[in-house]
Amino acid sequence: MSDSHSRSASSARGARIADALDIVCDGLDALTASQWAAPSLCEGWSVKDTMSHLAWRVGTGSVRLAGDVVRASVAGRHVNPMRTFDDIARGIADSGGTDELRRQLRAIAQEKASGRGRTNIGELSEVVVHGYDALHPLDVKLPFSAETTHRVATVSALRASRSTRALLRNRTLVAADAGWRIGSGSEIVADAASIVLFLNGRKAMQPPARAAIFAPAPAPAPGLA
């Protein structure tokens, strides 16, 4: 692949992440103080905790990211990295207000749009999944593009739990609002948000009559999406 083609691809990926971040920020703009403090879909994390984690995860350089994890693990004497993520997210959440957090997320979106920093599918997944984690319980709609949710669903299916991967060998999950499908076998129709949440071990938000297969899962440990 030529350097120019590589830069173009990175720029396109960055623009997609930036668009997703801006959509999340648009959803955050109208939240009240009580909504920022409300529980997210990540067990033990508020909406603000979840967005603080997102800002750190996608806005911090790789070297510093690793250093933060090491320092927090040593300071907290954590063996489980999920507890380290707890400390980092809550530390960031406690250190500033929600206006500053929204400003940081908008600034990160601008950096991604310019192609700076990491622009891989993992970064896009972090934005989409944690955006849903924070705002889906508040019934705030996030109008991600169909291409974005399909990309995230595809990578989420690859790293899903064994039971979920087994289900996808016999069922096709159809995102009726986005026009894509994933899996094989008889169809189960839902919306893109519920499918992405399900593939990442979250509770689906579809009405029971349409989501028999989306049985509530245990709340996921917060951290990497």
86 membership: H or E segment, kind and range: helix 81-95
Shared-domain flag, residues 22 and 85: yes
pLDDT digits (tens, 9 = 90+) for 13-64: 999 999 999 999 999 999 999 999 999 999 889 999 999 999 998 987 555 6
Q: What is the pLDDT, as a whole number, of residue 77?
A: 58
- Dist CA 145 CA 131 (whole Å): 14
The DSSP bridge pattern shows strands 180-183 and 186-190 to be unpaired
Q: What total of structural domains would you count in the chain? A: 2
Q: What is the pLDDT, as a whole number, of residue 68?
A: 58
Shared-domain flag, residues 24 and 112: yes
- Dist CA 170 CA 188 (whole Å): 11
Shared-domain flag, residues 32 and 56: yes
Residue with tokens 């739990």: 161
Q: What is the pTM of this model?
A: 0.82
Shared-domain flag, residues 181 and 88: no
- 80 Rama class: left (phi>0) / alpha (psi -120 to 50) / beta: beta
Q: What is the pLDDT, as a whole number, of residue 176?
A: 95
Residue 106 lies in a domain: yes
Shared-domain flag, residues 156 and 128: no
User: 169: domain range?
Assistant: 146-210
CA 6 to chain centre: 25
16 Cβ neighbours under 8 A, 6+ residues apart: 124, 145, 147, 148, 151
Shared-domain flag, residues 24 and 45: yes
Q: What is the pLDDT, as a whole number, of residue 60?
A: 76
pLDDT digits (tens, 9 = 90+) for 56-69: 989 875 556 556 56
Residue 221 lies in a domain: no
Residue with tokens 């076998």: 185
Shared-domain flag, residues 133 and 172: no
Residue 219 lies in a domain: no
Ranges of residues in the chain whose predicted pLDDT is under 50 = 205-212, 216, 218
Shared-domain flag, residues 124 and 156: no
Shared-domain flag, residues 111 and 173: no
